[in-house]
Amino acid sequence: MSTPGAKPITDEEGPLFRLLRHVDVAPHASQREISSAIGVSLGRLNAQLRAAAEAGFITISERSGPDRRQRFAYSLTSRGAAEKARLTDRFLARKFLEYQALHAELTGTASGYVPSTNRTRFMQNNLAPIPELFVSYDSAQKLKVEAGELTSHDLTPRQICDLELLMNGGFYPLKGFLGEEDYDGVVDNMRMADGTLWPMPITLDVKEDFADKIEIGQDIALRDQEGVILATMTVTDKWAPNKSKEAEKVFGADDDAHPAVNYLHNHAGKIYLGGPVTGIQQPVHYDFRARRDTPNELRAYFRKLGWRKVVAFQTRNPLHRAHQELTFRAARESQANLLIHPVVGMTKPGDVDHFTRVRCYEAVLDKYPASTTSMSLLPLAMRMAGPREAVWHGLIRKNFGVTHFIVGRDHAGPGKNSAGEDFYGPYDAQELFKAHEEEMGIEMVPFKHMVYVEERAQYEPADEIADKDSVNILNISGTELRRRLQEGLEIPEWFSFPEVVAELRRTKPPRSKQGFTVFFTGFSGSGKSTIANALMTKLMEMGGRPVTLLDGDIVRKNLSSELGFSKEHRDLNIRRIGYVASEITKNGGIAICAPIAPYAATRRAVREDIEQFGAFIEVHVATTIEECERRDRKGLYKLAREGKIKEFTGISDPYDVPANPELRVETEGTDVDNCAHQVILKLESMGLIAGH
């Protein structure tokens, strides 16, 4: 009996499968106990143990003790754990086919289950456990020791989110980071090589110098940013992807205005590694631990409460009254219990931080009926991929035991592209989800745009208001909400809960009390440092917030003295400046930066780092290269012309002129005081300093 993608276990594989499984669950068993458990003679067992050790599946070590029959201990290697997982899949596939045949023999009809090529629907019951990639506790302790000798990769925050959901089953049926064949299928048509529906490339991107040290078949250790080993991975694939194609296919456009495309081109490593993952331990979270559940923990919770139907609400924003009414209606229409399932991994740059959002959720949770509502946090790194993201979110929620999923208007849309148009149509996500709904095994509940009808003092779906011409319809957009928060204006109770507004005001005080960064950029000698010093003096004269000047020369002396002037080192220098500025901004101070910062991609990365905490004001000091060279107070241009300074901006290295800075100042024919005053006026117009 066979099926595409699931070969039956051969006579040779059956004993190996039993051996690996037993070693995993009972590493301290004696040879006699193992031989009895897997049904082979002691002689045959010894041959199997030697073969498994030679293949790198197990390690055999001596142990002391009076019982000679227990003088050896056996433990799975990371490769053995991966082989056990592979054989488990084959075993389950064979048993599934046997069940199908038995069902047909007994009833004369098919079972109704989806064929095994579509592995996303193996788990028809939302309450049954799903496979995880973790080994047993004892094996994990041994693997930690073994993995300490392996080449290590330090995961990025996004990769940690991906690995956590791979290991705990949130990304089931994935067994690890995608190999090249699966990656190509996912990019081209949202399907892996065996036909399984999966819309998002889950890849381990690494730098070229690291990839050069890795051989196919090699095991590597995956560590968090503090060096803790979370998993091992057997590298089966290594390739340089076509990132422009990935951007076009997955995100709909190769446009750096899309945050995921920007990440792809400007942050991700150039080489992808693929291969199965063996989970050792989950990433450690110190925040909101009681709110974090794995798929199997949520399924067990639903099972305990008898929740057969569960509708999930995906959110990366605080909950307001319109959201509450929407979720009430969705649960009522679906006749389901409600799971509020916010993302606390990585969202869109500029979003409210997850600490504030979770406090907002907890503040309003008691406004929901406790017997029918629960909340759990999802450690997902969003890609903001619109339609594909909606399908991805649906598959993930299916793994968490959810039966219904609310899909919003422009679900997971990143906003405007470089031409000022929306990346996706308002209902593209709902249409793609609907097209795959049956195959996914989770039902879509369309998001309704809720507005407040003043005369009836209630929220209603905008498209269901028959008398809309004779009633007063109220709504506050996200942009308007941010403006009211920034300016300390009233936020009416019909729009949000007082508890939510209080939390938001704690995190986002009026702009005149927030930290911010003024980032000057321009050629060497353009006047950046001079204007920055004048601005610093004016701001210190006003008082109210500490002011720090991060001038290019000062930073080079005190923070980056070991760096040269290659592109890589200049980028690193600017990123260091951005990091310090982000910390100053986060803590309510004013950072003034005045480096050359020639590359647009690096300036954008610094902007994203800082805008998490406050405003970023890019000031282009637009002095021409001819004027800068005429001034040449330091004699640098002369040395650059003579070839004594390599890679000099404007002479032998390019300068990306800012396309849309907050302010552009001309210094030729304008005195320094006037230039600094222009910046002050800009800060006043943005509400960052009080007007005079």
H-helix or E-strand spanning residue 548: strand 547-551
Mode of pairing for the β-strands spanning 404-407 and 443-446: parallel
Q: Cα(386)–Cα(258) distance, rounded to whole angstroms?
A: 11
525 assigned binding-site residue: yes
Q: Cα(544)–Cα(510) distance, rounded to whole angstroms?
A: 14
How many Cα atoms occupy the beta-carbon half-sphere of 47 within 13 Å? Answer: 7
Neighbours of 486 (CB within 10 A): 18
- For helices 259-266 and 243-251, give the axis angle rounded to 10 degrees: 170
Residue 154 β-bridge partners: 223
CA quadruple 300, 303, 305, 311: dihedral sign: positive
528 assigned binding-site residue: yes
Q: Cα(665)–Cα(623) distance, rounded to whole angstroms?
A: 8
Mode of pairing for the β-strands spanning 219-223 and 151-154: parallel
523 assigned binding-site residue: yes
527 assigned binding-site residue: yes
Cα 621 to the center of its chain, rounded Å: 35
Q: Which residue's structure tokens are 């503040």?
A: 363
> Residues for the chain: how many in total?
692
DSSP 474-506: E---HHHHHHHHHHT----TTTS-HHHHHHHHH
Terminal C-alpha separation, the chain: 83
DSSP 568-584: HHHHHHHHHHHHHHHHH
Q: Cα(211)–Cα(292) distance, rounded to whole angstroms?
A: 34
For 234, residues 6+ apart whose C-beta sits below 8 A from its C-beta are 78, 79, 82, 176, 217, 218, 219, 275, 276, 278
For 604, residues 6+ apart whose C-beta sits below 8 A from its C-beta are 256, 262, 266
Nearest-CA neighbor of 610 among 515, 494, 678, 539? 515
524 assigned binding-site residue: yes
Nearest-CA neighbor of 211 among 168, 169, 253, 151? 151
Q: Cα(299)–Cα(661) distance, rounded to whole angstroms?
A: 50
- Report helix, strand or coil for 423: coil
Q: Cα(354)–Cα(317) distance, rounded to whole angstroms?
A: 9
φ, ψ of residue 117 in degrees (nearest 5): -65, -20
Q: What is the set of active-site residues?
A: 315-317
| Tokens, residue 565 | 């002037």
75 assigned binding-site residue: no
Q: Where are the beta strands (DSSP E) in 569-654?
A: 590-594, 615-621
Q: Which residue ranges make up the annotated binding site for ATP? A: 522-529
Which residues carry a binding-site annotation? 522-529
